[in-house]
Amino acid sequence: MGEPRKRTFAKKDNAASPEGERIAKVIARRGAASRRQAEQMIADGRVTLNGKKVTSPALNVTDKDDILIDGEQLGERQGTRVWLYHKPAGKVVTENDPEGRETIFADLEARGLPRVLTIGRLDINTEGLLLLTNDGGLKRVLELPSTGWLRRYRVRAYGRVTQDQLDKLKKGMEVEGIKYGPIEARIDRAQGGNVWIDVALREGKNREVKNVLGALGLQVNRLIRVSYGPFQLGDLPVGEVETVKSRILADQLGKRLADEAGVDFKAPMPAALPGKTDIAARKMKPRDITAPRVRRPKRRDEDVEPEKPRGKPRRRIFFDDGRKPEYFEPEGDRKSRRSDAKPSSRDGRPPKAGAGRPQRPDNGRPQKRSENRPSGRSQNRPTDRPGKPR
């Protein structure tokens, strides 16, 4: 037998490779749809490139190409943005519901948010934290189980279960042929016939919490997502939206996830919320310290209010014709007016002669009591008690 033939690989010619990115990836990056949805749009013939219908997603495009979806121009790419949304129960996480149920996108559009994509899904009866983004690449990366972001839920279920049964979920479980990964569950408290359980998982398959707890004999009647990775629901009111700042988002993603998702924080950012602008999106103009300071012109004399007297004013008079109140001091201060006033009794009659406090001599010492002056005790009062012999 001859020697085995070695396999040879042709070197990739970078110069001959087409420029740009895949059209489905570009559509997802601009927030029009996810990459899978973009590929389906192309298969349905809804996408045109430079006036020609696109039939395959294996096509690279650049910024110079003209892309239309359903006859509408594909918007320019904006900076990566993430919003926190407190989804209420009773709303569907889909754009077009065939049954005509109320969707979250109708609520978000009414609030003035741009076209956004949901990171993950929540059932119609599930409430709590839902992440929104305008970057399809970031949506795809954060939904992957390999990303490792933990998702926490508060579950209220009808029935009885022990902590030992819940601890077995750490090894995973198979329900009706579907394998579920490790789940951390802890009993919080029992309330009547219900029990509250804290659940944490990383996969997030469709109806995973309800199916796994249902296999343990529990019937889930309320499900609240309280966190998704590092983002917490906190005290965000139901139905409200909160913007994640670009700096915080970059710190939480890290370099690995940011490079894998291809996020862009340099492009123009959309408004943080309707009527508000993120600080990172503003172009702050630095102050030139070498420029001379501009002094404000002084006000005219008639515009300057008169200087108020120091201390608490004694009197203030108001005018009915709209003039400013004026401050004035009464004639003579309070002490002089008291010293000049003549003493009088309470009933208005002049005081009796010798009334008032005794005058002190010039040396400032009180006068000694005279020996002939009677003391405070009466002279006729007996010194001993009656009825007792002396």
DSSP string over 137-179 = HHHHHHHSGGG---EEEEEEEES---HHHHHGGGG-EEETTEE
- What is the pTM (predicted TM-score) of this model? 0.59
Q: How confident is the model at residue 316 (pLDDT cuts 50, 70, 90)?
A: low
Angle between helices 246-261 and 136-143 (to 10 degrees): 80
Find the mean pLDDT for residues 305-324. 62
pLDDT score of 11: 42
pLDDT score of 16: 36
Q: How confident is the model at residue 63 (pLDDT cuts 50, 70, 90)?
A: confident
Q: Does 82 have pLDDT greater than 80?
A: yes
CATH classification of 79-139+234-264 is 3.90.870.40, yes or no? no
Q: Does 139 have pLDDT greater than 60?
A: yes
Q: Does 305 have pLDDT greater than 70?
A: no
Cα 233 to its chain centre, rounded Å, is: 10
Q: For tokens 């009197």, name the residue.
A: 315
What's the chain's average pLDDT?
A: 75
Q: How far is CA 230 from CA 84, 121, 150, 240, 253, in A?
A: 12, 17, 8, 19, 9
* CATH code assigned to 150-228: 3.30.2350.10
pLDDT score of 155: 95
Of 65, 107, 123, 264, the active-site residue reads: 123
pLDDT score of 272: 59
Q: Which of 58-62, 129-133, 279-283 has the weakest average pLDDT?
A: 279-283
**123 noted as active-site residue:** yes
Q: Which fold has domain 21-73?
A: 3.10.290
pLDDT score of 348: 54
Domain boundaries, the chain: 21-73, 79-139+234-264, 150-228
Q: Does 353 have pLDDT greater than 60?
A: no
Q: How far apart are the C-alpha atoms of 332 and 35, rounded to whole Å?
A: 90
